[in-house]
Amino acid sequence: MSRYPFARIDLAALKYNLQRVRQFAPQSQVMSVIKADAYGHGVIQVAQALKQSDAFAVARLKEAITLRQQGFQQPITVFEGVSTIEEWQLAAEYDLTPVLHQQKHLDFLLKADIKQPFPFMWLMLETGMHRLGLPAPVIEQIIKQLEGRTDLIEKLGLMSHFANSDLVNDARNQQQLAVMQNLAEKSGLAVCMANSAAIISLPASHYQWVRPGLMLYGVSPFADKSGAEVGLKPVMQIISKLIASQQLSAGDEVGYGGQWTAEKTMRMGVVSIGYGDGYSRHLSNAGEVIIRGQRVPVIGRVSMDTICVNLEACPEARLDDEVIIWGTEALTVEWLAEQAGTIPYELLCCVTPRVIREYLDG
């Protein structure tokens, strides 16, 4: 049975990229971000390949519990934290590391029956993004409140998140950093602030912990630079095949809505990939694929299961040829995301379970 389309996940590249993180931030511990099924790469296999990480991070409690149930013993940070008494007890039971970002959540912790204290908890500081986080005076209050409560929490740290770290030299990054620096000095607590873009471009933000996501998967967080340009190796390659080919005459329309019309006699091909696989419909008349080393354009609308491509530039293309959808230096997911008017994060996360992941280990 045909395995196409499939995603080839290069676990050796993943490990290589973790080493790159350590080169960028040699003084820091690394919390590998593997939320959203490890950015679509498959969380269990990715966590296994990244087991040298000093910690893992996910967004939600259930993602963290899944990792524990699979036997991973590293510290696991839960970015969204826990919001009820029951969740605090569950988090304690599974030995997780929550992020506290709402004062109300603390009230529940104080009421919860915590048998084994949390070894660590992150306090989310609002430094300018205005998403999750508490202002410095509130955090200072919480630090005081938890002082001596080693029955609940053994150690606290400070976390914050950049809103513009992909914009190198943007003054707002310095402003956010200054807010963090101030509280870091006052409190003496460990700090975790840098995501991928800050790891690469803002060494002053590295502190004791860094938390890379995207760069682990070999993808650049910067609009004007590819992963290769910052020394990363792409981890996910999507490969499909040419399942049909047709000769078109001038005036023939291709696909739903006839959004592309042949201007002359020519050959087109049909590739087995569509939005039902996570290939964005925004790539209609905008994407490209690689066949026999040649980039060819997507023509017409992306369908659920197929895309059509213009084979004029690749007359040697044959039925059943492999087609690279993304994930080589010649066709990066960064470039494709820009064509789709989105970011590579979204394209990676949106690959659906219909696309079987195949794991390669070097």
Instruction: Give the interface with ligand PLP as residue ranges (CB under 6 A).
Output: 33, 35, 79, 161, 195-196, 211-214, 221
Answer for the pair 98, 87: CB distance below 8 angstroms, yes or no.
no
Q: Which is nearer to ligand PLP, 270 or 348 (CB)?
A: 348
Active-site hit among 4, 15, 35, 279:
35
Least Cβ distance, residue 259 to ligand PLP (angstroms) = 33
**How far is it, in rounded angstroms, from Cα 65 to Cα 196?**
25
Report, in Å, the least distance between residue 206 CB and ligand PLP: 13
* 256 classed as catalytic: yes
Identity of the residue, 193 or 323, whose beta carbon is nearer to ligand PLP in the bound complex:
193
Closest to ligand PLP by CB, 336 or 348:
348
CB of 77 to ligand PLP, least distance (A): 9
Identify whether 35 is a catalytic site residue: yes
Contacts (Cβ under 8 Å, ≥6 apart) of 342? 280, 282
Secondary structure class of 300 (helix, strand, coil): coil
> Mapping DSSP to helix (H, G, I), strand (E, B) and coil, where does residue 184 land?
helix
Smallest distance from ligand PLP to CB 214, Å: 4
The residue length of the chain stands at 362
Closer Cβ to ligand PLP, 32 or 272, answer by number: 32
Give me the sign of the Cα torsion angle 87, 351, 167, 18. positive
Closest distance between ligand PLP and the C-beta of residue 122, in Å?
A: 10
Catalytic member of 62, 111, 155, 256: 256
Give how far Cα 193 sits from Cα of 196, 210, 346, Å: 10, 6, 22
CA proximity to 327, closest of 336, 339, 317, 316: 336
Residue 226 in tokens? 């590819």
Select 218 or 221, whichever has its Cβ closest to ligand PLP. Answer: 221
Which residue sits closest to ligand PLP, CB atoms considered? 213
What span, in angstroms and rounded, lies between the C-alpha atoms of 228 and 47?
Answer: 23
List the catalytic residues: 35, 256
